[in-house]
Amino acid sequence: MPGCNRRLGATNRSSLSRALLTYKIAMEQLEGNVGLYRAKCFRNFLWTLVAGLIWGCGGKQQEAAREGMRPPNIVVIYLDDLGYGDVGFNGASELKTPNMDRLASEGLKFTNGYATSATCTPSRYALLTGVYPWRKKEAKILPGTAPLIIDTAQRTLPGMLREQGYHTGIVGKWHLGLGDGQVDWNRRIAPGPNEVGFDYSFIMAATQDRVPTVYIRDGRVVGLDPEDPISVDYENNFPGQPSGLDHPELVRMQWHHGHNNSIVNGIPRIGYMVGGQAAQWKDEDMADTFLEEARKYVKDHKEGPFFLYYAMQQPHVPRTPHPRFEGTTGMGPRGDVIAEADWCVGEFMKTLEAEGLLENTLIVLTSDNGPVLNDGYYDEAVEKLGEHTPAGPFRGGKYSLFEAGTHVPLVTYWKGNIEPGTSEALVCQVDLMASLAALAGADARQGDSEDLLGAFLGQSGEGRETLVIEATSRTAFRKGDWVLIPPYAGPATNTQVDIELGNSEVFQLYNLREDIGQQNNLAGTRSGKLQEMVREFEQIRGKDYGKIQALELK
């Protein structure tokens, strides 16, 4: 920059000395007080000032400095029904998850990481809005025809990041409702993800076991032949269409409970659908399809910053591994799709690495709720489980107020920025909203979401003080090592899925540090602690927590 060099006279050399001294002192103070990422941002900011003094004009240096201040890309990899104990990094030995284990060993593994809820939709609602799902009565397991449950005026995680200059995308499972309740699947489907903050969406509407069994890109069914329109109904079948209930001879995967409506690809589903033959997904290709979409999204937006919500479908039912993974674990389809999901994580990471993005991308890997074996199909999940323990040391599973319902695998990874390690901080997916707002430079006050950026980046061991967890409208309360489960009516165990739900006629109080498996109810002997927990729980939750909805597995 010859034009600028001429200006580096005595005055500027003096300014330069002062600026460098100021810079050095500021950095020493800063590095001692705040985390690595914020220190880097501030260092870059100071560097911009210094560069301005040195060269006395704008230029590539300032541009590069401004570039260095850019917040990182963010990827949330969200698995579906993956249990705390389903991964090697939490102790699984029968089932191998080398790629997720690598993320954990090179990143930060949380031993107290939670979904807000023991089922899909509420956890996803909290993740994307920063609001506890029990505040929203529609945040329960939704049929495929449910209207969108996020208000389009509501602040959302992708919307907040978009305001901060991010490009935002979702690939995978949605299950937060679409449209206004009267969806015509043959026209643009809205409102949906694109109306609540996502610039790009490639989704399935609800779940793999629910119709419509088609992909939707930016509100339009992919590959739809206008001559073969789609109709969907969750109440009545269409004339002449076989169902799993009427025609068991047509299915290749037998239903156990629910899952006996329309048959697609030989698999009976929840809900009825007719038409759209050319658009229907092939179940065994779903993992590859979502992976390719996720990789393409990264490549298309690698200039960043981008936010990708990669919502994988495994190991939710129906478990349909690609033939490459069939039989690879000896645990039947449930084990095989976890191996498949792990491979997808590895391939996705390879893409980030190949694009040179690992040092500039924060990755959060977690699951929307705990594990279930038989969730509606006979797929040998129970019979071939062997010694594997999907719930790890916890009691219960999906649908449960016991720990296994919401206490899930959770890892953060950011090469060169997050020190590898293990954190005991109490963190929840609902906190990503405020924490990522802080990271992106937005207002971190976000509903129930707490700014735990320091914990997520491993700079602090401080997590939440308290957490309200939810399972099909029932709520429980964690504070420190203690968990309070209020009395709820209903069976202790759901026999169809064979999971203890946490229902009891009496209060339950457990100390997780001493009793991780929740076997010793201390409510009778620790009455002072019980009263304290009930009081604090009611302050947050209100006193009407006993009004609950019946558990529906479908």
For residue 120, the minimal CB distance to Ca ion (Å) is 4
For residue 81, the minimal CB distance to Ca ion (Å) is 4
Handedness of CA 109, 112, 117, 119 (dihedral sign): positive
Q: Which is nearer to Ca ion, 140 or 295 (CB)?
A: 140
Structure tokens at 420: 């590898």
Beta-carbon count within 10 A of 9 CB: 9
What distances in angstroms separate CA 158 from CA 190, 200, 349, 515, 530, one per listed residue? 17, 11, 21, 38, 39
DSSP string, 481-506: TEEEE----S-SEETTTTEE----SS
Strands (E), 21-86: 73-79
Q: Which is nearer to Ca ion, 263 or 401 (CB)?
A: 401
- Binding window for Ca ion (CB under 5 A); candidates: 75-83, 227-235, 320-328, 415-423: 75-83
Q: Which is nearer to Ca ion, 209 or 431 (CB)?
A: 209
Q: Which is nearer to Ca ion, 120 or 523 (CB)?
A: 120
For residue 79, the minimal CB distance to Ca ion (Å) is 8
Task: Using CB under 5 A, count the residues that bind Ca ion.
Answer: 5
Give the 3-state secondary structure of 288-334: HHHHHHHHHHHHHCCCCCEEEEEECCCCCCCCCCCCCCCCCCCCHHH
**Are the C-beta atoms of residues 324 and 342 closer than 8 Å to each other?**
no
**Are the C-beta atoms of residues 418 and 457 closer than 8 Å to each other?**
yes
User: DSSP secondary-structure letter at 263?
Assistant: E
- Binding window for Ca ion (CB under 5 A); candidates: 148-156, 344-352, 362-370, 488-496: 362-370
Looking at the DSSP assignment, which residues form a beta bridge with residue 482? 479, 511
Among 209, 368, 431, 470, binds Ca ion (CB under 5 A): 368
Q: Which is nearer to Ca ion, 122 or 212 (CB)?
A: 122
- Binding window for Ca ion (CB under 5 A); candidates: 101-109, 318-326, 361-369, 389-397: 361-369
**CA 321 – CA 257 distance, rounded (Å):** 21
Among 80, 342, 450, 451, binds Ca ion (CB under 5 A): 80
For residue 193, the minimal CB distance to Ca ion (Å) is 18
**Are the C-beta atoms of residues 316 and 263 closer than 8 Å to each other?**
no
**Are the C-beta atoms of residues 365 and 312 closer than 8 Å to each other?**
no
For residue 371, the minimal CB distance to Ca ion (Å) is 10
Residue located via tokens 């893409």 = 351
For residue 382, the minimal CB distance to Ca ion (Å) is 18
Q: Which is nearer to Ca ion, 78 or 482 (CB)?
A: 78
Does 369 participate in binding Ca ion (rule CB under 5 A)? yes
For residue 119, the minimal CB distance to Ca ion (Å) is 6
For residue 163, the minimal CB distance to Ca ion (Å) is 29
Q: Which is nearer to Ca ion, 175 or 541 (CB)?
A: 175
For residue 316, the minimal CB distance to Ca ion (Å) is 6
Q: Which is nearer to Ca ion, 80 or 450 (CB)?
A: 80
Give the 3-state secondary structure of 118-130: CCHHHHHHHHHHC
Give the 3-state secondary structure of 200-256: EEEEECCCCCECCCEEEECCEECCCCCCCCCEEECCCCCCCCCECCCCHHHCCCCEC
For residue 326, the minimal CB distance to Ca ion (Å) is 23
For residue 58, the minimal CB distance to Ca ion (Å) is 51
**CA 21 – CA 26 distance, rounded (Å):** 8
For residue 402, the minimal CB distance to Ca ion (Å) is 16
58-91 burial string, b = 16+ CB within 10 Å, else e?
eeebbeebeeeeebbbbbbbbbbbbbbbbbbbbe
- Binding window for Ca ion (CB under 5 A); candidates: 79-87, 255-263, 375-383, 457-465: 79-87
Does 209 participate in binding Ca ion (rule CB under 5 A)? no
Nearest to 411 by CA among 89, 37, 86, 91: 89
For residue 117, the minimal CB distance to Ca ion (Å) is 9
Q: Which is nearer to Ca ion, 311 or 418 (CB)?
A: 311
Which residues fall within 8 angstroms of residue 525, CB to CB, at 6 or more apart? Answer: none
Residue nearest to Ca ion (CB): 120
DSSP string, 67-83: HHTPPPEEEEEEESS--
Residue located via tokens 């060169």 = 416
Q: Which is nearer to Ca ion, 155 or 173 (CB)?
A: 173
Q: Which is nearer to Ca ion, 81 or 283 (CB)?
A: 81
Q: Which is nearer to Ca ion, 368 or 450 (CB)?
A: 368
- Binding window for Ca ion (CB under 5 A); candidates: 51-59, 102-110, 363-371, 508-516: 363-371
Site map for Ca ion, 120-159, x if CB under 5 A? x---------------------------------------
Q: Which is nearer to Ca ion, 287 or 434 (CB)?
A: 287
Does 81 participate in binding Ca ion (rule CB under 5 A)? yes
Strands (E), 358-441: 361-367, 410-413, 421-423, 427-428
For residue 431, the minimal CB distance to Ca ion (Å) is 19
Looking at the DSSP assignment, which residues form a beta bridge with residue 309? 76, 170
Site map for Ca ion, 86-125, x if CB under 5 A? ----------------------------------x-----
Q: Which is nearer to Ca ion, 366 or 417 (CB)?
A: 366
**Are the C-beta atoms of residues 327 and 336 closer than 8 Å to each other?**
yes
Instruction: Decide: residue 347, CB within 10 A, 0-12 exposed, 13-18 middle, 19+ buried.
Output: middle
Site map for Ca ion, 26-65, x if CB under 5 A? ----------------------------------------
- Binding window for Ca ion (CB under 5 A); candidates: 72-80, 358-366, 423-431, 483-491: 72-80
Residues that bind Ca ion (CB under 5 A): 80-81, 120, 368-369
